[in-house]
Structure 1
Amino acid sequence: MTENQPAAVPGTADDSVAPGRPVPDVSVIVGAYDAMPYLVRCLESVAAQTIGPDRMELIAVDDGSTDGTGERLAEFAARGAVPTRVVRQANSGSPGGPRNTGLGLARGRYVFFLDADDYLGDEALERLVAMADRAGTDVVLGRTVGVNRGAARSMWRKTTERADIYTSNVKFTLSAQKLFRRELLVRHRMRFDPSLRIGEDALFTMEAYLRAAGVSVVADYTCYYLVGRADGKHVTRTVGHPERIAAAGALMELIAAHLPPGERRDRLMVRPFTVNLLPQFGPIVLRRPVAELRRKLELAAPLMAAHWTPGVAALLRVPERLPLTCVALDRPAALLDVVAAGRSAEPPPRVRRGGREYLAYPHFGDPAAGIPDEAYEVLDAPGRLGRLRRRARRAAVRLVGQSRLSRLVRLVGQSRLVRLVRQS
């Protein structure tokens, strides 16, 4: 059994655990600010890891706590079996600050960011490291469930050694609680943006997805328990709409910086538009002053001008696409009507025109409103209709050649081609 070192003095880190010790498989980084009593369960879950203390290390950063968090970390470091370093620093003002401190001290082949409010499944680290080693991937997502709060679920349908970040739902979980290959982070000098109080983890994780040699999903075991604090001290509950819209814009800019315009960029843009931006223009606008809505529209305008494209719109369902179209067109009155209709127990009527189907939300077909019919159009699945049309065209070219394609379309119709491809 390895011997732990005492906690560092305030403002410093104890590096005496590093010399002579083998490189651990994983460095668990815990940033903690006034985390009691939740920290107790968090640390117990670290100690219970089946990967064993000889294959891991804990780096705990007390970010200016005043509730005994620092003392609890020192006790764990002194008495536990897991090699532990404790850093005490002045409050950084953001979740990214202590994570960056821990990342700078990490020695493991992999790092895992564990929030002090949450806890791990006993086999979490063993399973995540095994997956990364087996698949050769740089990021591994472990199944997450909520405790007294919600948690994303769509990406946990099956365990996957190599998930496509563009077509799978992994893009909808951008929290930091994942396994990252440290070499990737070091090579690209990746750090959390300390100026952001919200959304810093989304930027970090999306960049890792884009730079990674692969992303894996462990879905057959609950690796992470995301805890809802009864005291309401989650940072996400204390930030206002300017910071939330700015976080959406920062994520859009990151995606645009890494990908040229086109389908892959559009697919990733779905995430900031639907998860970050859309809630700012959801039912909350019915409860807040119109002046606030106008300010939100001003803040969102440059984002819509730069990143809202027909490709993104085609990947969304009508209840998502239509309000965002109102935002893009700066139609506050229409937006309020659409959001109010969405709250109704009665679904909007379906209308068929020219072989297409629409949801007749307010202002459908109203020239004065200036909202295009495409915003109301029902697609078989987000973006699927366009994909089917492209497949139908390619199939027709293979069968009859490009020169006879126009005649074939006139004979059987575009919609018939789509149906034939769907049935094939």
Structure 2
Amino acid sequence: MPYLIRCLESVEAQTIGADRIEIVAVDDGSTDGTGEYLEEFAARSKVPTRVVRQKNSGGPSGPRNVGLGLARGRYVFFLDADDYFGDEALERMVAMADRAGTDVVLGKVVGVNRGAPQSMWGATRERVDVYNSKVIYTLSAQKLFRRELLERLSLRFDENLRTGEDALFTMEAYLRGAGVSVISNYVCYYLVGRDDGKHVTKSGTYEWRFDSMRAMMALIHRIEPAGPKRDFLMVRPFTVGMLQQFGPVVLKDSEEVRRHKMELVAPLMETYWHDGVARLIKVSERLRLACVAQGRMDLLIEMVRYIRAKTVPDVVRSRDGQTLYLAYPHFRDRSAGLADSNYEVTVPDWHDGKRIEQPKAAARRASLSRRVARRMRRDMRRWKERLSVE
């Protein structure tokens, strides 16, 4: 409360119609009148509403699993009590899933008094997957899921995780489902920033974050066979997760916390970090992870300070001119133990505000562009010749 009032009003306003919706509202031990309001709402609303009141479970997984176990519709949507729908959200998402036959639908999300994911909303697309889109960078639970998929996989939120449980759930649905749809031309979901600043995603300890990373990495390795696709998926837990624990925050961490983080991360780096993943990551991020892999907190701190100061490293070319390196601290310093490959530009990167990439990659793209242009000119000449003959 009081966010719940707007939340429920947005469900009642859905253009899909009250007869096509059910609400399963799980009051997870609230103490602010939420339970009483839910029961009043259920008694008067045209939307069939079931209210479950239980002791506080300590996290969102338990109540979501309770609601999922009671759900009867073809689709489920996990609507947080702080947030609210656009009026046409469910109608559009259900129509998309029915038309495309996909198991997960992402409706465009915007933030209210907070940020929201943006990279995946470039275009409305009936069918994408984690490899040809940016959906991997939104793993929150606020999506439409086909309930048959969830039941077939016995997919539930991990109640042992204190954070990141939604990312694990959504990633498995992405990987094992029959495709993902994206609605970008209508705002389906308003992600609300509470005035008191209390959000589950902002709370918790760094140990919880490592638990979440560990679970995500294990899931990817369990589902996706070894190879380029697995390497691509592994970039996310390394860059959205691990780097947050080994970024500017380490400058504020105590020596004890730094030491503990290195103990927690060591088995993850030993098991999951290798060249195939590293080469898919930008230099400044890869270097920090390389320092972590070697257990070198001293090098990491130096690297973080260098990056935080927005120092621009020199660009170094190999003798044949085909390889670029960014000369961050300890480049070609053998005593530091950081291989040249950690400094190599292997994916499009940024240098002094400009996009850079390997000369050979740029040359291939330029060559392809020239071939396409020549083909277009040739086709145009042929078209003009046919036109003149006719």
Work out which of the residue numbers 199, 208, 223 in structure 2 matches 1:243. 208
Q: Which runs of 5+ in 1 are unaligned?
A: 1-35, 390-414
Structure 1: distance between partners of 2:267 and 2:11: 44
Work out which of the residue numbers 145, 148, 163 in structure 2 matches 1:198. 163
| TM-score relative to the length of structure 1 | 0.82
2:60 maps to what in 1? Answer: 95
1:122 maps to what in 2? Answer: 87
Percent identical: 62
1:320 maps to what in 2? Answer: 285
Q: Which runs of 5+ in 2 are unaligned?
A: 350-355, 372-390
Work out which of the residue numbers 243, 254, 271 in structure 2 matches 1:306. 271
1:371 aligns with 2:318: no
The alpha-carbon deviation at position 418 of structure 1 amounts to: 7.1
Query: Are 2:161 and 2:211, in contact at CA under 8 Å, matched by a contact in 1?
Result: no
Query: Are 1:94 and 1:195, in contact at CA under 8 Å, matched by a contact in 2?
Result: no
Work out which of the residue numbers 285, 295, 313 in structure 1 matches 2:260. 295
Q: Residues 102-153 of structure 1: CA distance to partner in whole angstroms, max 9, x if unpaired?
A: 0010000000000111111111111100100000000001111111111111
Query: Are 1:58 and 1:85, in contact at CA under 8 Å, matched by a contact in 2?
Result: yes
Query: Are 1:56 and 1:83, in contact at CA under 8 Å, matched by a contact in 2?
Result: yes
Q: How does 1:134-283 map to 2 (within 5 A)?
A: 134-283=99-248
- The 1:416/1:110 distance shift into structure 2, 3 A limit, reads closer
SS at 2:136 equivalent:
helix
Query: Are 2:16 and 2:90, in contact at CA under 8 Å, matched by a contact in 1?
Result: yes
Q: Give the letter aligned to residue 371 of structure 1.
A: L
- The 1:321/1:381 distance shift into structure 2, 3 A limit, reads same
Work out which of the residue numbers 297, 308, 315 in structure 2 matches 1:350. 315
Structure 2: distance between partners of 1:422 and 1:377: 25
Structure 2: distance between partners of 1:380 and 1:277: 20
Structure 1: distance between partners of 2:249 and 2:369: 39
Query: Are 1:124 and 1:223, in contact at CA under 8 Å, matched by a contact in 2?
Result: yes
The alpha-carbon deviation at position 419 of structure 1 amounts to: 5.6
SS at 1:115 equivalent:
coil
| TM-score relative to the length of structure 2 | 0.89
Structure 1: distance between partners of 2:250 and 2:52: 43
The alpha-carbon deviation at position 238 of structure 1 amounts to: 2.4
Query: Are 1:135 and 1:162, in contact at CA under 8 Å, matched by a contact in 2?
Result: yes
The alpha-carbon deviation at position 385 of structure 1 amounts to: 7.4
Greater mean deviation of Cα atoms: 129-138 or 291-300: 291-300
Q: How does 1:40-79 map to 2 (within 5 A)?
A: 40-79=5-44
Structure 1: distance between partners of 2:169 and 2:211: 15
2:375 maps to what in 1? Answer: none
